[in-house]
Structure 1
Amino acid sequence: MRWQQYRELAAGLESIEDFWRYGQSRFSQAGIDCSQGYQTPRAEAAALIARRLALEPEDLPELRAARLTALEREAVLDAFYQREILRRPTAYILQEAWFAGLRFFVDERVLIPRSLLEPFIEEGFAPWVDEQRVHRILEIGTGSGCMAVALAQRFPEAQVDAVDISPAALAVAMRNIASHGLEERIRLLESDLFAALPGERYDLIVSNPPYVDAAAMAELPPEYRQEPHLALAAGDDGLACLLPLVQAAPAHLRPGGVLVLETGDAEEALLSQYPDLPLIWLEHPAGGYGACLLLADESAQ
């Protein structure tokens, strides 16, 4: 559908409530995928309306009767058109996303922030990690830098190294690190896993690496196809990054160090490759696993 046709279909909409209802209905009928941060068509519509009006989504209920100006209507409809017809994720349209309660800049150079590790970061990986002993942290595959920033804030006495193979992603991470005032505590490095870190050792290594296998990549919704292929695809079995990471990490852990990995649906494939590896699986508050940790002392056995 062309933009002009889309505008004509929305003729007569005037208030925030009109647009909120319209966006929710359009998104539901179109079957958009809502798993990249907002979870429901209603929440997606609210985010797009609010940010196009320089508001927050929680402001909308009390302003639902407010009528939009002509320019505001155009701005909201443009966002709806991108979301429904072009299937751009809301985070890319707004160039913002949230992780661990923090706002980040994002665009198509990076994966939209989301991770099974988020609640565990907020808890400091207790009881497995002793905060007082964490002085150096490494994050592998930093993307937007959201996890590096969250780790730096959760472990305020630690220095953080954050690496990514993509120079484009590192440019986004640099912007987010600066916006959170953490340039002195987070060092960014272009690196394929540990390649740029010879001899470096850490108390905590954290990674949400690519782990989507070939079959799952072929079935991804259109929204996910707008994210960097490099940040998702992990070969036929989803282990293209996980295996070399698990193999190399012990040499980069200090005594008592901890490796934390998100494995997602590659959990079973990893277990089939390393059935005897003493992985500790982390149960997500919403249910299920898909993330694990490995203690340095155990990996040496």
Structure 2
Amino acid sequence: MDVARALEWGERMLRESGIDTARRDVEILLQELLDVDRSALYLDRSRALLPEQKIMFEQWIKQRCARMPLQYVLHKAWFMDMELYVDERVLIPRPETELLVEVVIKEAKGMSEPLQVLDIGTGSGAIAIALARHMSGCRVWAVDISPDALAVARINVGKYSLQQRVTLLEGNLFEPVKGMAFDIIVSNPPYIVRDDLIELEPEVRSEPEPALNGGDDGLDFYRKLCHAGELLKPHGFLALEIGYDQGQAVSDILKACGFKDIQVLKDFANMDRIVLAHKWK
């Protein structure tokens, strides 16, 4: 099998499985397999796959046909300027969450360093690692209730040699950090309405359900996270990712908990995506 035939066969298989991004996915798989960029892939379409490469490619196509997300197939996700290890134990980092990180970095400018940052529900560690890399004057505590997720986060923290600046803790929400105080608390919590989970794309449904399920109205975790004020320093702030229609509801929850200067920020599609709130005085 050469590259041209692999492209044709792979695209046909994925399209027959109902995957709209079939061509792009096959290109990415072949680029990864052959360690080439897209241009080189098409410039050498007659290149033959080695026997072991053909076996691997066919296995990847089979997994993708079963609607396994491309990131799980490759065990790679791209987030900001990083390449992270991911598998079925963690939620796949998304571009919307990059906006959350960017908002935190911008809001933190001018705050006295060193900054103490808490990431609740760290998953793969994407937020914690990105903040540590882009905010040299911060130390991050990253909490997750799932030991499996923390095992993945540990791989990624090690990859970027951040063991001294990112501390991984197992536990539920604020329990592992009782008695501590933070300048910044950040979280991308589960926010999908429980009854809507069944309507998600097969790829999304393959991700860990606890990382998606926000309860009957999608707001369960925001009601718990509003207690973050008890752990924030006087001039600290809370930054949360939210669903596209949850800006007002989350703002109301935080207001009822005493937060002030609450802002709802839009994503690139002009939808509610981030809520930023400052601690009460």
TM-score, normalised with respect to structure 1: 0.83
8 A Cα contact 2:104 2:239, kept in partner: no
Partner of 1:249: 228
Contact 2:251 / 2:275 at 8 angstroms: preserved in 1?
A: no
SS at match of 1:245: helix
**Distance change (3 Å), C-alpha of 1:125 and 1:28:** farther
**Other-structure match for 1:287:** 270
* Candidates 15, 19, 31, aligned match of 2:2: 15
Matched with 2:76 is 96
User: Which residue of 1 is the match for residue 215 of structure 2?
Assistant: 235
CA deviation after TM superposition for structure 1 residue 95, in Å: 0.9
Letter of the 2:22 counterpart: P
SS of the residue corresponding to residue 133 of structure 1 reads: coil
List gaps (5 residues or longer) in structure 2: none
CA distance in 2, matches of 1:120, 1:239: 18
Task: Call closer, same or farther: CA 1:184–1:56 in 2, change over 3 Å.
Answer: farther
Q: Distance in 2 between matches of 1:117 and 1:65?
A: 40
Q: Deviations over 1:189-227 (max 9, x none)?
A: 112111111121111111101111112112122212221
Paired with 1:262 and 1:176, the residues of 2 have a C-alpha distance of 21
1:259 to 238, 250, 253: 238
Question: Which of residues 175, 200, 206 in structure 2 aligns to 1:195?
Answer: 175
Q: 1:236 to 1:115 in 2, by over 3 A?
A: farther
When structure 1 is superposed on structure 2, of 140-149 and 65-74 the one drifting more is: 65-74
Q: Return the letter of the residue paired with 2:233.
A: R
**CA distance, structure 1, for counterparts of residue 247 and residue 198 of structure 2:** 19
Identity %: 36
1:205 is the counterpart of 2:188: no
Give the alignment of 1:1-301 within 5 angstroms: 14-32=1-19, 40-57=21-38, 59-84=40-65, 86-122=66-102, 124-126=104-106, 128-130=107-109, 132-134=111-113, 135-246=115-226, 248-265=227-244, 267=246, 270-271=249-250, 273-274=252-253, 278-296=261-279, 300=280
CA shift for structure 1 position 76: 1.0
For 1:266 and 1:233, locate their aligned partners in 2 and report how far apart those are by CA, in whole Å: 16
Cα drift, residue 121 of structure 1 = 2.1
Q: Give the SS at the match of 1:187.
A: strand
- What's the CA shift for 1:132? 4.5
Stretch moving more, 52-61 or 200-209: 52-61
The whole-number CA distance in structure 2 between the counterparts of 1:271 and 1:158 is 27
Match of 1:3 in 2: none
TM-score (normalizing by structure 2): 0.89
Which whole-Å deviations, capped at 9, do the CAs of 1:18-65 have from their partners, x for residues lacking one? 3224333433343237xxxxxx33322122122223445564233333
The AA in structure 2 aligned to 1:280 is: Q
Task: Say if 1:238 and 1:269, in contact at 8 Å, map to a contact too.
Answer: no
Cα distance change, pair 59–242 in 1 and its aligned pair in 2 (3 A): farther
Aligned Cα RMSD in Å?
2.3
| SS, match of residue 279 in structure 1 | strand
CA contact (8 A) 1:260 1:292 kept: yes
Choose 158-167 or 20-29, whichever is displaced more: 20-29
Q: 2:183 & 2:109 partners in 1: Cα distance?
A: 10
Find the residue that maps to 1:103 and give its secondary structure.
strand
For 2:204 and 2:97, locate their aligned partners in 1 and report how far apart those are by CA, in whole Å. Answer: 20
Extract unaligned runs of 5+ from structure 1: 1-13, 34-39
| Distance in 2, Cα, partners of 1:281 & 1:269 | 8
